[in-house]
Structure 1
Amino acid sequence: MVFQLKIKLQKNSFLSFFLAHSPMSLPSRPHLLLLLPVLIMLPPPSHQAQYPPRLIDRIVRDSAFQSYHTKHHKKTAILYKLLLPPSLSGVAAETVRYRAGSLRRHGAAIGEFRVAPGVFVHLHVERLIVVRQNLGNLSSMYNGYGNISGFQLVSPVLGLLFYNATSLHSSSSKNLSELKVSVSRKPITVDFSRAIGDLRRLRPLCAVFKLDGNVSLSNQTASNICVSRQQGHFALVVESSKNTDGIESIDQKVKESKWKVVVVSVAAGAFGAVLLGLIVVAVVSARRKRYEKEEMERRAYEEEVLQISMVGHVRTPAAAVVRTVPALGSN
């Protein structure tokens, strides 16, 4: 019976997630056993469940804290990859632990993020855990987020969240919330160059999805680089353009631009070939005219009538002597 139950738990990802993320084990909460038959009978969810953004943050956070308990993640400033539930297979996340004083003095580089020196935590903690997220194909859930409904994502959503490392040894859920951090000097930078291609033609804006649910939009400081003075989630967005069929997708724009490039390239190649042909014809025609002129001069020289005279025993051509006829003037 226990073996059969394990098989059913493996088939139902929602149930396995429920058991993996419950704060206490099932035997310590007997009333949760009553939910097992209901959960087992539930149909398996789709491959990519549509979780709310904050729920994904909690799942990734729990996986980060659990990784420090179950694995030998003892070193600071070392980035560790997280193993997430199958329902979040499209999400990539890493975690790293720092000393608060060291992070404030030296800063850090975490994936696409650059945290400059001068980060202050509004709670006296000795160590903190930083979680980096790349939501991948689950980034679409942010399309209708707050006041970004008139814009469309053109990059995956990247997240950077700070947690209290002392919560690793505490069972209180209050200590698991994000720390309040502030940047006193240079802001945090996010480089999307590795996640996307060249989007300079689209001129995207930087979107910062704050933890309180608000969204702020700003211009890029450089190509594919955004800045922020607080933690949260970040993405590049462009204003949605509408046509007769509704909102035109960015992929369609990119495809149309590629076709335009191909057509312009073919037209330029054809024009270049025609121009090269005209140049070749002009050069050949000029050489032919010069050859014909030289041939005419040669023939005229050869056909000139000359008299033959004897100079000793040698026959040589000689021009006829033309004597000027004297003219008598009248007195």
Structure 2
Amino acid sequence: MGFRDFNSRIQQERHEEAFWSIFMGFFRRWHSIIWVTFFLSFSSSVQASSIGYDPKSLNAFFVHHANRSIVKPHTGILYTVPLPANFTGMELTFVRLRSGSLRNRGANFSSFYIPPKVRAHPHVVRLALVYENLGNWSSYYYHVPNHSLVAPVVGFTVFDSPGPYVIGTQKLNFSFHEEPISIWFPRIELQGGNVTPKCVKFGSNVTFEISSMSKRNGCITRSQGHFSLVIPFPPPATPPRRPPPPPPPPQRAKKSYWKWWVLGFAGGVIGLVLIVLIVIAVSKLVKKKKLKAMETQSEKSVPLDAFWIGRSKMPSASMIRTQPALEHGYVP
């Protein structure tokens, strides 16, 4: 029994080890799958953020997407390329032409009119004209300092069109003998004001060139690229000027007023003292006159004897002049 129990325990431990090894292997595989998925999504988001709003990357995407979407196009027919949902608002079209037909007849597709007698360099049998209209995405990819776009950015590019590809990888140039290429903007958004838009051509390396409009809602060019209309930003409104604060009263005037107040107060005090002194002097003078008058009057009357009491001289009467008498001679 002991040997059997020992074998059963060993088998149970082996089963547990096998289960945990299978579980860990399964977990590791799913863990790696999750990490790979996360890394791919993160790298794609980083790549999208790095490509975002880059005109060159956008043009490369348009060419690649057109080659994948359109198969065996017919010459001379304008094709509209369906774009993904995240490019809603943009328009992508292209037409495949023979070089001789473009030279003899020109081309009038989309917003561009290419006149006859235009030659493509280097010479190819077939070429592809790719037209772009960025619509409401225009300001994200192109901008002019101190200006605002009033029309969508439209552009065209010329490529070779070899047999197996709709749009090739070689860019072509045009040479003109007479009139240039005309560009027409169907929608211009002017928010009031008598401002005439200017034509702007965007080149590579974030360069631009501003020129006057050649005709109403139109511009001209002699090279391929991207074009739009711009107006300068209105100057900032100047705030109304505040009236200047009143000038402070001069310091000298204040000092002169204080001087006058001090002088007036001192003069008043001095005048009051003089008046008091004058009143005292007048009262003393009046008293002296009264005393003198009394002395004069006393000298004119009957003189009285005088005697001294200490240092004071006092008058005295030696006798009574009038004897008292009764008013009636009989006694009741």
TM-score per shorter chain, which class?
Answer: 0.5 to 0.7
Quick one: distance in 1 between partners of 2:92 and 2:128? 13
Name the CA shift for 1:218/1:184 in 2 (closer, same or farther; >3 Å): same
Name the CA shift for 1:168/1:117 in 2 (closer, same or farther; >3 Å): same
How far the C-alpha of 1:223 sits from its partner, in A, is 0.9
TM-score, structure 1 as length reference: 0.54
Quick one: distance in 2 between partners of 1:36 and 1:162? 39
- What SS is found at the alignment partner of 1:63? helix
* Equivalent residue, structure 2, for 1:226: 219
Q: Is the 8 A contact 1:205 1:220 kept in 2?
A: yes
Q: After superposition, give the CA deviation of every residue in 1:239-271 in whole Å (9 maximum; x if it has no partner).
A: 1123269xxxxxxxxxxxxxxxxxxxxxxxxxx
- What SS is found at the alignment partner of 1:96? strand
* Equivalent residue, structure 2, for 1:112: 111
* Equivalent residue, structure 1, for 2:188: 196
Name the CA shift for 1:204/1:125 in 2 (closer, same or farther; >3 Å): same
Name the CA shift for 1:44/1:186 in 2 (closer, same or farther; >3 Å): same
Q: After superposition, give the CA deviation of every residue in 1:211-245 in whole Å (9 maximum; x if it has no partner).
A: 45431111111111100000100100011123269
* Equivalent residue, structure 2, for 1:39: 40
Q: Which runs of 5+ in 1 are unaligned?
A: 1-33, 246-331
* Equivalent residue, structure 1, for 2:157: 161
- What SS is found at the alignment partner of 2:151? coil
Quick one: distance in 1 between partners of 2:84 and 2:149? 25
* Equivalent residue, structure 1, for 2:66: 64
- What SS is found at the alignment partner of 1:87? helix
* Equivalent residue, structure 2, for 1:287: none
The code of the aligned residue for 2:155 comes to G
- What SS is found at the alignment partner of 2:41? helix
Quick one: distance in 1 between partners of 2:43 and 2:165? 35
Identity %: 31
The code of the aligned residue for 2:63 comes to R
Q: What pairs with 1:1-331 in structure 2 (closer than 5 Å)?
A: 36-40=37-41, 50-69=52-71, 72-73=72-73, 75-144=74-143, 148-166=144-162, 168-169=164-165, 176-192=169-185, 194-196=186-188, 201-211=194-204, 213-243=206-236
Quick one: distance in 2 between partners of 1:200 and 1:101? 46
Quick one: distance in 1 between partners of 2:163 and 2:56? 19
Q: Is the 8 A contact 1:143 1:149 kept in 2?
A: no
TM-score, structure 2 as length reference: 0.54
Quick one: distance in 1 between partners of 2:114 and 2:36? 45
* Equivalent residue, structure 2, for 1:12: none
How far the C-alpha of 1:42 sits from its partner, in A, is 6.9
- What SS is found at the alignment partner of 2:156? strand
Quick one: distance in 1 between partners of 2:76 and 2:67? 16
How far the C-alpha of 1:204 sits from its partner, in A, is 0.4
Residue correspondences, number: 201
Quick one: distance in 1 between partners of 2:200 and 2:127? 26
Quick one: distance in 1 between partners of 2:103 and 2:177? 10
Name the CA shift for 1:40/1:244 in 2 (closer, same or farther; >3 Å): same
* Equivalent residue, structure 1, for 2:272: none
Quick one: distance in 1 between partners of 2:142 and 2:161? 32
Q: Is the 8 A contact 1:112 1:190 kept in 2?
A: yes
Q: After superposition, give the CA deviation of every residue in 1:264-290 in whole Å (9 maximum; x if it has no partner).
A: xxxxxxxxxxxxxxxxxxxxxxxxxxx
Quick one: distance in 2 between partners of 1:234 and 1:59? 19
4+ residue stretches of structure 1 with deviation over 6 A? 42-46
Q: After superposition, give the CA deviation of every residue in 1:172-201 in whole Å (9 maximum; x if it has no partner).
A: x9x514222232221111111x22267893
Q: Which runs of 5+ in 2 are unaligned?
A: 1-34, 239-332
Q: After superposition, give the CA deviation of every residue in 1:119-161 in whole Å (9 maximum; x if it has no partner).
A: 22111210011111110111002454xxx31221111000111
Q: Over aligned residues, Cα RMSD in angstroms?
A: 3.1
Name the CA shift for 1:181/1:240 in 2 (closer, same or farther; >3 Å): same
How far the C-alpha of 1:62 sits from its partner, in A, is 1.3
Name the CA shift for 1:225/1:41 in 2 (closer, same or farther; >3 Å): closer
